[in-house]
Amino acid sequence: MRTQVAIIGAGPSGLLLGQLLNKAGIDAVVIERQSPDYVLGRIRAGVLEQVTIDLLDKAGVGQRMHAEGLPHGGIELLFKGARHRIDLEGLTGGKHVMVYGQTEVTRDLMEARADAGLTTIYQAGDVTLHDFDGSQPKVRYTRDGQTHEIACDFIAGCDGYHGVSRASVPEAALRTYEKVYPFGWLGVLADVPPVSHELIYANTGRGFALCSMRSATRSRYYVQVPMEEKVENWSDDAFWNELQSRLDPEAAERLVTGPSLEKSIAPLRSFVAEPMRFGRLLLAGDAAHIVPPTGAKGLNLAAADVGYLARAMQAFYGERSESALDRYSDLCLRRVWKAERFSWWFTSLTHKFPDTGAIGQKLQQAELEYLVGSRAASTAMAENYVGLPFAD
């Protein structure tokens, strides 16, 4: 088989890239290790920035998001038993975020790709990348006992943190930066109405909690747990009791509990691999960087990378210009590091750290009090939360 772009991974990065390239008349094949149901079964992000909304519209898959997504103009910070609203819309000249689950984004992209009759190879085994340091890279994979080869002009590594793409780059060519946090997020998805109409980020003596949602009838909740914690140690009742103990009295009273549809623990890390281009192999999304989910940046960074990459490929095939491809990595990394900094800052401000003792929370509470009392500080937070501009 031959194509112009071989995309490794059918998560949001790979599928969004495939759509944007298709809109630009560029041929691409997506190669995915898992089945469609497995990909859809992973419950992850929930908050979209305007940049992501715009790219999904450009890809022609924004209809259901606008119909079912929930625009949010503010979030609440809960500390010392009281909630304080950050007026995202008022502080950023009208910008907001959209609450719309990554599962739905992925479903919309999958359906659009299938409707367009575009090739996605699911359950591809033993994917390997070849000759991307030259001008005729190849991808090989096995399926149904056969080995297949795809010749292409470019390989887009959209296969996440544990993927094969970054692992195929010679170690000497890669600089990596990593910080692993001493805790994880125990998350529950349940068909119960959200405790509040906006997200609540809580800094409490028992640790961080987040009240989010997927719709007016489906909620997504998280509590910070030690990094060695196991999900099997947590019954639904144990989760609801712990969440309730971390909420203010009014929210604790309003909390509606119910059976979990999904329950999992996500580790938290900050990670960046530089650069994001190796000849004809370009990395995008979690394949190149990971943020702690506190800032709701992971999915949004992936979308921005793909927006830059699609534009660079359009310039290559349209004007045979490689200048945008040459700038791809620097352009992405300037935005990535700002999101890494915000996600680290917001995680450091809201989570309980085992080694900072009693003074740790006092210092966090002082910063939170300053934050909610200062228009300048709240504006800085709001600008980062709604997403920094998509640099041209």
Give the residue numbers annotated as catalytic, written as ranges.
72, 201, 293, 297, 385
- Report the SS3 class of residue 391: coil
Binding segment toward ligand FAS, per CB under 6 A, in 6-14, 76-84, 172-180, 271-279: 6-14
Report what 294 binds from ligand FAS, ligand PHB, none; CB cut-off 5-8 Å by kind: ligand PHB
Rounded Cα gap, residues 208 and 202, in angstroms: 5
Site for ligand PHB in 14-53 (CB under 6 A): 45-47
Tokens of 163: 């993927």
The least distance separating ligand PHB from the CB of residue 168, rounded to whole angstroms, comes to 30
CB closer to ligand PHB out of 219 and 378: 219
User: Binding to ligand FAS by residue 39, rule CB under 6 A?
Assistant: yes
User: Binding to ligand FAS by residue 298, rule CB under 6 A?
Assistant: yes
Question: Is 85 exposed, middle or buried, given 0-12, 13-18 or 19+ CB atoms closer than 10 A?
Answer: middle
Name which position in 74, 285, 292, 387 contacts ligand FAS (CB under 6 A). Answer: 285
User: Binding to ligand PHB by residue 212, rule CB under 6 A?
Assistant: yes
Please give the size of the binding site for ligand FAS, defined by CB under 6 A. Answer: 32
Which residues, other chains included, contact 28 with Cβ-Cβ below 8 Å and sequence gap of 6+?
A: 3, 4, 5, 6, 7, 17, 18, 21, 22, 118, 156
Site for ligand FAS in 78-107 (CB under 6 A): 102
User: Binding to ligand FAS by residue 309, rule CB under 6 A?
Assistant: no
Binding segment toward ligand PHB, per CB under 6 A, in 80-88, 119-127, 145-153, 290-298: 290-298
- Phi, psi at residue 290, to the nearest 5°? -135, 135
Name which position in 26, 86, 296, 304 contacts ligand PHB (CB under 6 A). Answer: 296
Please give the size of the binding site for ligand PHB, defined by CB under 6 A. Answer: 10
**Beta-strand relationship, 199-203 and 209-213:** antiparallel
Report what 348 binds from ligand PHB, ligand FAS, none; CB cut-off 5-8 Å by kind: none
Rounded Cα gap, residues 28 and 18, in angstroms: 6
Name which position in 113, 220, 289, 335 contacts ligand PHB (CB under 6 A). Answer: 220
Binding segment toward ligand FAS, per CB under 6 A, in 2-10, 74-82, 271-279, 367-375: 2-10
Tokens of 257: 């509990």
The least distance separating ligand FAS from the CB of residue 81, rounded to whole angstroms, comes to 25
Rounded Cα gap, residues 42 and 34, in angstroms: 11
Kind and range of the H or E run holding 54: helix 50-58
CB 16 within 8 A of CB 109: yes
- Phi, psi at residue 380, to the nearest 5°? -60, -40
Site for ligand FAS in 153-172 (CB under 6 A): 158-160, 163-164
CB closer to ligand PHB out of 58 and 179: 179
The least distance separating ligand PHB from the CB of residue 234, rounded to whole angstroms, comes to 17
Binding segment toward ligand FAS, per CB under 6 A, in 28-36, 168-176, 197-205, 362-370: 28-36
Rounded Cα gap, residues 29 and 274, in angstroms: 25
Rounded Cα gap, residues 114 and 109, in angstroms: 9
- DSSP for 354-389 reads TTSHHHHHHHHHHHHHHHHH-HHHHHHHHHHHH---
Question: Which residue is associated with the tokens 């210092």?
Answer: 363
Name which position in 52, 120, 294, 361 contacts ligand PHB (CB under 6 A). Answer: 294
Site for ligand FAS in 109-138 (CB under 6 A): 124, 127
CB atoms within 10 A of CB 264: 15
Residues that bind ligand FAS (CB under 6 A): 8-14, 31-34, 39, 44-46, 102, 124, 127, 158-160, 163-164, 266, 285-286, 293, 296-299, 302
Residues that bind ligand PHB (CB under 6 A): 45-47, 199, 210, 212, 220, 293-294, 296
